[in-house]
Amino acid sequence: MSYPYTFKINGVDFSDIITRYGYQTVYDPIYSESITTMDMVEHTAVVRYKHGLTITVRPLEYTRLTQLTLALSANGIPSITFTSLQLNEEVTASMRLDSYTSELVLQNASRKLLGGTQLTFVEL
């Protein structure tokens, strides 16, 4: 089955590791500090938008799990390319894992990954 969304880490396609309904994106505005004008009205402006991505990983074979672990632990901040559900287009952003699951590392050591592990990425 071809997964309908793009998910790449540093150019390596990992779209096949996502469960059928395990794909969510967010597109949150980042606001400036509020400024109160003389008429006592507070004003803020959107400075930029910040992407977020949550995927649920299906059970992986040892080789695919090793590839994923290496891609996530590579030097530097990973470049993630994914399909934004809000913009309906592919986005490439420097992202970090919001909560790097220690279970991913432990399961890699045991050469086995149980399905349902969630990975949450947040744009820097």
Q: Which domain holds residue 85?
A: 7-123
- Work out how many domains the chain is built from and give that number: 1
Q: What is the three-class DSSP state of 63?
A: helix
In a domain? residue 2: no
Per-residue pLDDT of the chain (124 residues; tens, 9 = 90+): 456 889 999 999 999 999 888 999 999 999 988 888 899 999 898 999 999 999 988 888 778 888 887 888 777 788 999 999 999 999 999 998 876 554 555 555 555 555 677 888 999 8
In a domain? residue 36: yes
Strands (E) in 10-113, as ranges, are: 12-13, 18-31, 35-36, 42-43, 46-57, 79-84, 89-97
Side chain identity, residue 93: A
Question: Is 7 buried (19+), middle (13-18) or exposed (0-12) by CB count in 10 A?
Answer: buried
Q: Which tokens sit at 96?
A: 């970090």
In a domain? residue 109: yes
pLDDT of residue 1: 42
C-beta separation of 121 from 80 below 8 A:
yes
C-beta separation of 51 from 95 below 8 A:
yes
pLDDT of residue 89: 92
C-beta separation of 10 from 79 below 8 A:
yes
The CATH number assigned to the domain holding 67 equals 2.40.30
Is pTM, for the whole model, over 0.85? no
In a domain? residue 47: yes
62-72 helix and 102-109 helix, angle to the nearest 10 degrees? 140
pLDDT of residue 13: 94
In a domain? residue 1: no
Q: Residue 86, Cβ neighbours under 10 Å: how many?
A: 12
Gyration radius from the chain CA atoms: 18
